[in-house]
Amino acid sequence: MSKYVLSPAAQESLLNIKAYSIKTFGKKRTTVYLKALRDRMRILSESPLMGTARNEIKNGYYSCFEGSHTIYYRIAETHIDIIGILHQSMEPSTHL
């Protein structure tokens, strides 16, 4: 397994992270940060059990921190589904 699929919510999160980061930190830092998020998702797709099980949110969910955000995902047969990418201050039970 070495593939990840972004849900529509995760795609929207990345767009929002990009817009906020460009306005707040500039293009260069934004590019570096988005690359780190994508690298983390790739690493998770290669080793999905490295994340933390989050069965308290929903059975089969996992999460992993990257920078100021948490990547939420579930493991499928041939890939991982990225469910959402939330800022650490966001409550997952209300945003996933």
Read off φ and ψ for residue 2, nearest 5 degrees: -150, 40
Q: What superfamily does domain 4-95 belong to in CATH?
A: RelE-like (3.30.2310.20)
Rounded to the nearest 5 degrees, what angle is found at the Cα of 62, between the Cα atoms of 39 and 6? 50
Full-model pTM: 0.91
Query: Domain locations in the chain?
Result: 4-95
Query: What confidence score (pLDDT) does residue 1 get?
Result: 58
Q: What pLDDT score does 2 carry? A: 74
How many whole angstroms from its chain centre is CA 60?
A: 15
- Per-residue confidence (pLDDT) for residue 88, from 0 to 100: 84
Q: Walk along the chain (96 residues) in steps of 10 and give the mean pLDDT of each run.
A: 90 96 97 97 95 93 96 94 89 67
Interval 70-80: pLDDT, tens: 999 999 989 99
